[in-house]
């Protein structure tokens, strides 16, 4: 794949539609191969790079407090910087999943299915603060009937789920 000045990778300049995880995976693989970077792309190295990029993304929001959806008060330059950092996170995630042999699209869809089962609409709609195990029909079978709930475990009523939102 040849590079271009405008798009850094041919086919990317102005490519607004039709971007898929598979096309990003291929472009990332080609990008690394052209530069002989495969030797450095171990799962550990990619994960650490991903964490670093998440840190850079976090810095953008660090002192802004809550911001409204759509970022209406942000300058165009800030939004562009945000897009670049979000892209770095996405690209490292796609590359990491490729190197680990995980089909990220399929894994994400499967995770959505699991979350739909874990958080049924009729029980979770509106932002309940109950832990997800209280929604599960078999949650009580995992605990003995004599066992008391530990308030510090995040399972008591009124405590936000440890892993919500997913």
- Are both 96 and 135 inside the same structural domain? no
Domain match, 89 and 139 both: no
pLDDT in tens, 30-39: 999 999 999 9
Q: What residues make up the domain containing 82? A: 21-63+71-105
Q: What is the pTM of this model?
A: 0.71
Name the average pLDDT for the chain: 80
Query: The domain that contains 78 carries what CATH number?
Result: 1.10.287.1080
**Is the same domain home to 123 and 145?**
yes
- The answer to whether residue 1 sits within a structural domain is no
Number of folded domains in the chain? Answer: 2
Segment 77-82 shows an average pLDDT of: 98
Here the contacts of 86-94 (C-beta below 8 Å, separation 24 or greater) are 86/57, 88/53, 88/56, 88/57, 89/50, 89/53, 89/54, 89/57, 90/24, 91/24, 91/28, 92/46, 92/49, 92/50, 92/53, 93/50, 94/21, 94/24, 94/25, 94/28
């Amino acid at each position: 794949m040849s590079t271009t000045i405008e798009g850094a990778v041919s086919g990317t300049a102005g490519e607004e539609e039709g971007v898929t995880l598979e096309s990003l995976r291929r472009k990332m693989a080609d990008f690394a191969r052209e530069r002989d970077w495969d030797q450095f792309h171990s799962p550990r190295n990619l994960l650490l790079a991903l964490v670093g990029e998440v840190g850079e993304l976090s810095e953008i929001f660090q002192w802004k407090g809550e911001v409204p959806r759509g970022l209406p008060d942000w300058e165009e330059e800030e939004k562009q910087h945000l897009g670049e950092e979000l892209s770095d996170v996405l690209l490292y995630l796609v590359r990491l999943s490729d190197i680990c042999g995980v089909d990220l699209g399929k894994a994400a869809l499967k995770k959505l299915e699991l979350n739909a089962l874990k958080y049924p609409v009729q029980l979770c709609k509106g932002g309940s603060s109950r832990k997800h195990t209280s929604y599960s029909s078999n949650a009580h079978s995992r605990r003995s009937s004599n066992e008391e709930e530990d308030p510090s475990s995040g399972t008591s009523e009124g405590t936000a789920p440890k892993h919500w939102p997913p």
